[in-house]
């Protein structure tokens, strides 16, 4: 489930200039298993749903036979071929146990019931307390227990030119063949993704004025997986969310939860063709 007021979470975390913050990192359960196991990738043309989740419609750099492209393609679809070295991948760009807050906030963390030998390893019922200080009345925080991998496209102008050439046909496909209504955010062509294996996020009201707010996140052992843990807010409210919540057989999936993206918005226009512009 997304955090309440997902637009606020995205706005506050996007201000950190790490990319557009996604308040729903997990793909929809009805998508094909190979897509869900991988998560969003560079080249995906995505539809933004009302809950702020992104849904890949097709991919411009993968072959027609790829699962992402097997659900239908625009008539003017043309595969874009990249060269070796066009994609830069930084594994653990965010180290394990990373906390990210909006630009008006600072976070002090305190561990409880964690291993003395390795403070990143929880003991049953252990976790982390975040003391959040903010100069604003509204704040947001993202906790990445397993860190995160950042993947970026180097020749972004190639994607922009490709989108400018084919965007009109893409929008027609989405609206006429898929019968989807493209909202004011438009479609999103991904040029970069930051992905993780687990996450906890929250928005907080009335945290300014010199006051601090304490949030607890705890480790919960996953049944049947030995020392494996998932992380959850201890006293979750509608403004808090954590994940993923995996189905049986998905416990070993890694780095398929997308928390930040970069790319281009493709917005239909009544005057001329669709507008192609960077995600704000």
* Nearest partner of 122 among 242, 227, 251, judged by Cα: 227
| Contact call for residues 159 and 266 (beta carbons, < 8 A) | no
Whole-angstrom Cα distance, residue 135 to residue 106?
Answer: 9
Q: Which tokens is 85 given?
A: 């070295």
Residue 69 clears pLDDT 60, i.e. is over it: yes
Any idea which residue has 């409210």 for tokens? 237
Q: Which of 19-23, 116-120, 250-254 shows the highest mean pLDDT?
A: 19-23
Q: What are phi and psi of 244, to 5 degrees?
A: -85, 165
Neighbours of 257 (CB within 10 A): 24
Per-residue confidence (pLDDT) for residue 235, from 0 to 100? 54
With cut-offs at 50, 70 and 90, classify the pLDDT of residue 185. confident
Whole-angstrom Cα distance, residue 3 to residue 24?
Answer: 8
Q: How many helices (H) and strands (E) does the chain have?
A: 3, 16
Q: Which of 74-88, 154-168, 218-232 has the lowest mean pLDDT?
A: 218-232
Phi-psi region of 155 (alpha: psi -120 to 50; beta: other; left: phi over 0): beta
66-86 average pLDDT score:
95
Which helix (DSSP H) or strand (DSSP E) does residue 171 occupy? Answer: helix 156-172
Q: Which of 15-19, 116-120, 265-269 has the lowest mean pLDDT?
A: 116-120
Percent residues over pLDDT 90 in the chain: 59
Q: What is the pLDDT of residues 21-62, one digit of tens each?
A: 999 999 999 999 999 999 999 999 999 998 889 999 999 999
61-88 average pLDDT score:
96
DSSP 207: -
Which helix (DSSP H) or strand (DSSP E) does residue 36 occupy? Answer: helix 33-38
With cut-offs at 50, 70 and 90, classify the pLDDT of residue 213. confident
* Nearest partner of 146 among 261, 246, 23, 228, judged by Cα: 228
* Nearest partner of 260 among 7, 10, 6, judged by Cα: 10
Query: What does the mean pLDDT of the chain come to?
Result: 86
With cut-offs at 50, 70 and 90, classify the pLDDT of residue 5. low
Q: What does each C-alpha distance from 87 to 15, 156, 186 come to in angstroms?
A: 25, 10, 25
Per-residue confidence (pLDDT) for residue 104, from 0 to 100? 87
């Amino acid at each position: 489930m997304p955090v309440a007021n997902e637009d606020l979470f995205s706005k506050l975390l996007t201000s950190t200039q790490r990319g557009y913050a996604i308040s729903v990192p997990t793909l929809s359960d009805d998508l094909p298993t190979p897509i869900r196991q991988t998560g969003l990738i560079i080249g995906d043309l995505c539809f933004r749903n009302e809950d702020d989740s992104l849904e890949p419609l097709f991919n411009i750099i993968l072959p027609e036979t790829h699962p992402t492209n097997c659900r239908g393609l625009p008539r003017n679809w043309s595969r874009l071929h990249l060269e070796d070295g066009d994609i830069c991948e930084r594994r653990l760009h965010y180290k394990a146990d990373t906390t990210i807050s909006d630009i008006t906030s600072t976070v002090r963390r305190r561990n409880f019931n964690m291993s003395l030998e390795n403070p990143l390893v929880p003991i049953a019922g252990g976790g982390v307390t975040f003391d959040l200080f903010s100069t604003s009345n509204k704040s947001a925080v993202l906790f990445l227990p397993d860190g995160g991998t950042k993947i970026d496209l180097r020749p972004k102008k190639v994607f922009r030119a490709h989108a400018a050439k084919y965007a009109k046909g893409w929008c027609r496909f989405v609206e006429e063949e898929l019968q989807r209504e493209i909202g004011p955010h438009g479609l999103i062509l991904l040029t970069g993704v930051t992905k993780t294996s687990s996450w906890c996020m929250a928005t907080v009201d009335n945290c300014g004025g010199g006051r601090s707010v304490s949030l607890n996140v705890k480790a919960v052992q996953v049944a049947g997986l030995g020392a494996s843990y998932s992380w959850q807010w201890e006293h979750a409210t509608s403004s808090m969310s954590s994940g993923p919540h995996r189905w049986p057989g998905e416990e070993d999936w890694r780095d398929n939860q997308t928390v930040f993206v970069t790319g281009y918005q493709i917005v239909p226009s009544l005057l001329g063709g669709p507008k192609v512009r960077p995600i704000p």
